[in-house]
Chain A
Amino acid sequence: MNLVLICFVIFLLMGMPIAFVIGIAAFTFFITRPMLPFEGAVQMVILQSQSFAFLAVPFFIFAGNLMNVSGITSRLLGLARLLTRRMYGGTAQISVVMSTLMGGVSGSATADAAMETRILGPEMMRIGYKKGYICSVNCVSALITATIPPSLGLIIFGFVGEVSIGRLFAGGIIPGFLMMLFLMITTSLTSRFKKYDPPQADAPRLTFREIGENLKESVWALMFPVILIVGIRFGLFTPSESGAFAVVYAVIIGKFVYRELTWENFKDALVTSFKDNGAIMLIIAMSGPFSYAITWVKLPVILSNFIFGISSNPQVLVLIMLGFLFVTGMIVDSNVNFILLTPIFLPMVQSLGFDPIHFGVLMATVVTLGVMTPPIGAALYTVCGIIDCPPEEYTRESIPFMAAVLLELAVLVFIPEAVTFIPNLIFG
């Protein structure tokens, strides 16, 4: 096992892609044990792809990409601009509101962060926001997108932990809106402090007529999450299948309502989607032999005994786990975090009577936050790359936003109803 860990660290530092780091480190485990044939390692790679619940991942990635090319995203942006035009730090607030609206159609934080930085970044630089601040608000607020259903993090947690994805989706609604509130307050306070973008004195007051005009178009996008949850609730499709319906819905709205979906941009969205899916699946597949190796040496048992040794109070234990996940999230890929730690943590919290849906939403949020934290985070490097912002500057400016998210999570640990109320209301 030591060899596995040494390989893991060295390969990671050499700049090897994470999927190969995990896979090749685990291969050394199989090679050095005559008892374990190498076919077994290959078999574990393949088996990871054989989960029906995982289907929701490629489907929602595709649905999200179709939304971007079919005019749904641009209509939501119009609505977000309308809603925030009289606020302090108005352009930054657009990003927070936009991520909330996008939450209902997209499941990926990185994709949302990249899209909004691309759209809002240049405008924010012109108004005088610092690059680090621009990246921070666009990146961290994208976590709202990944909390409001559909959410890739919740899907992966559900498929690894065998927890109802429908319930998890419903459980993400209140925490998502609460996060919007926390981040809007943070944005307002920080932009006042830094004197960014004060509201224009002549900005007209928002009228119902204006909202109504906008809703006529954007309602198709806003209905999307409602249709998904209703479809699951009434047994039309299972949560694993819901992504296929999302794709069909996006195609219909893009083609027949907004009339912006063409064969060309459909093909672009398709290629982007199977590439994204392949990249995620490669990580998940290569972690198969890795999980096998750590089970073989009983690491999960050792780790859970260690954590149980610290405290037996469920809330304290969950706080410790979330802290642990925040730290591992800084260096480990989010999918790897889900796959390796869900099977260890979930049975532990369940044995203490902690609700699996409640835990799932908290875990998915903190693990997804990992893509935004330095030193290693996919979303961080994506947004910083878009407007050429030094990651150090991002790190400094993101502290208040990260703190807001962590505070929200800490509060949610003690209020299970904030997570479980809607799933219980919908699913009984």
Chain B
Amino acid sequence: GGQDEAASSGKITVTFAGTEAATTTQSKMMQAVADVLNADGRFDAEVLVAGALSGDTDALVTQAKLGVPLVVPSDPGRLASQFNIPDMNILMAPYILTDPAVLEKLPDTELFKTWSSQLEKQGIVLIADMYNGFRNFYTVEKVEHVEDLSGMRIRGFGNDIGNALAKHFGFANIAIPFGEVFPAIQQGALDGTEVQVSAAAGNAFWDVTPYIAITKHYMLQTAFVCSTRLLNGMPDDAREFFLKTIREKALEYGKTGEEAEDGLYQKMADNGVTITEVDLKEFQDAIAPLYKNNDLKFSPGLKEKLFDQLGM
């Protein structure tokens, strides 16, 4: 059954394999792409979400690279570590990208093309970069100013970016698997987490974190990748259709996701969470030394180059 039948039918087989739940924007987007591809007739696309194939995004990307016909939603930070392209981390760095609209222009920038070609040399194609939500602080105590975060035990990214953010905001960065964050906050092993609202609402965080501070420090992106081998195996017109469909749906669902955020914040508020609009300038200033000292070891002038190419 399954993919075996597809392989023998002469159609182009492709599996979208994600780790998020079926209800998230990312999973819905992949289903929408698969529907369009299947309706076209040249493709046999299926979607496996919620980690059905594997719960490890990097492993799925490796499988794609090895030749399994997968499209995998990863993110620029993961790809930066996995394929040793440190400069690509800037897409996930705090307060660099602050407006989802820039993602429309991003694929046309020289920098993005450089990173893409570095990936392609390693057998991976970055098809599209989709908006996946701003991350904010969800805490047990109210956070209005940077110093309120001081000393809090917050679950953040366990990578250099996460540590740099913790250093400049003054909280203790605690690595805990995402699934254990809810009970850890509930039982007092953590004072909060930084996360996007879709994940917070999807996991009923209103039960454990009575406060949200709208700091918008990271703009999360989903980077859809597949292997060069998969693309090269397609006839030219099919490949073009395939890439076009994913890019269009990425833009469309990026916007859908953005619009859905208001409703999700409302849902948090309806469940008794206090949402604090902080002074973003104050938080951005606290992060400024990160770029001045070049904590993340970017190439010289990278930030200016990116802003210039994005016309910011």
Contact = CB atoms under 8 A, between A and B. Distances in A.
Contacts of A53: 177, 179-180
Residue with the highest number of chain B CB atoms closer than 10 Å, among A36, A40, A428: A40
A263 interface: no
Given A35-B67, A298-B2, A164 B183 contact: yes
Given A53-B177, A238-B180, A292-B54, A427 B67 contact: no
Nearest to A237: B189
B183 A40 contact: no
Contact of B187 (A1, A43, A166, A295): A166
B1 A302 contact: yes
Interface in B148-201: 176-177, 179-180, 183-184, 186-190
A302 B52 CA distance: 14
A292 B53 CA distance: 6
Contacts of A297: 1-4
A207 interface: no
Given A50-B56, A235-B184, A428-B186, A296 B2 contact: yes
B63 interface: yes
B69 interface: yes
A327 B209 CA distance: 44
Nearest to A163: B179
Contact of A47 (B48, B59, B189): B59
Contacts of B180: 52-53, 238-240
A79 B59 CA distance: 51
Interface in A25-65: 33, 35-37, 39-40, 43-44, 47, 50, 52-53
A297 B67 CA distance: 18
Interface string B260-282: 00000000000000000000000
Interface string A150-170: 000000000000101011000
A123 B6 CA distance: 65
A37 B67 CA distance: 7
Contacts of B53: 292, 295-296
A327 B145 CA distance: 59
B39 interface: no
B61 to A, nearest CB: 11
A373 B163 CA distance: 51
B48 A295 contact: yes
Interface in B38-90: 48, 52-54, 56, 59, 62-63, 66-69
A388 to B, nearest CB: 45
Contact of B183 (A36, A44, A47, A166): A166
B69 A35 contact: yes
A50 to B, nearest CB: 7
B13 A35 contact: yes
B204 to A, nearest CB: 13
A285 to B, nearest CB: 14
A208 interface: no
Interface residues of B, number: 29
B186 A427 contact: yes
B189 to A, nearest CB: 4
B7 interface: yes
A235 B189 contact: yes
A234 interface: yes
A415 B180 CA distance: 28
A35 B187 contact: no
A316 interface: no
A427 B3 CA distance: 44
Interface string A195-218: 000000000000000000000000
A223 interface: no
A239 B183 CA distance: 9
A374 to B, nearest CB: 33
B54 A234 contact: no
A35 B3 contact: yes
Contacts of B66: 37, 39-40
Which of A164, A296, A300 has most chain B Cβ within 10 Å? Answer: A296
B171 to A, nearest CB: 16
A232 interface: yes
Residue with the highest number of chain A CB atoms closer than 10 Å, among B7, B62, B180, B187 = B187
Nearest to A240: B180
Contacts of B177: 52-53, 240
A167 B179 CA distance: 14
Interface in A237-271: 237-240
B206 to A, nearest CB: 14
B12 to A, nearest CB: 12
A232 B59 CA distance: 32
B180 to A, nearest CB: 5
A44 to B, nearest CB: 7
Contacts of A86: none
Contacts of B67: 35, 37
Contacts of A167: 183
B209 to A, nearest CB: 14
Interface of B: 1-4, 7, 13, 48, 52-54, 56, 59, 62-63, 66-69, 176-177, 179-180, 183-184, 186-190
22 contacts: A35-B67, A37-B67, A39-B66, A40-B66, A40-B68, A43-B63, A47-B54, A52-B176, A53-B180, A166-B187, A235-B188, A235-B189, A238-B176, A238-B187, A239-B180, A295-B52, A296-B3, A296-B53, A302-B1, A427-B183, A427-B186, A428-B186
Smallest CB-CB A-B distances: 8 pairs: A235-B188, A235-B189, A235-B187, A37-B66, A297-B2, A298-B2, A162-B179, A52-B177
Interface of A: 1, 33, 35-37, 39-40, 43-44, 47, 50, 52-53, 162, 164, 166-167, 232-240, 292, 295-298, 300, 302, 343, 427-428
Given A235-B187, A428-B186, 6 more contacts: A47-B54, A47-B56, A238-B183, A238-B189, A297-B4, A427-B187
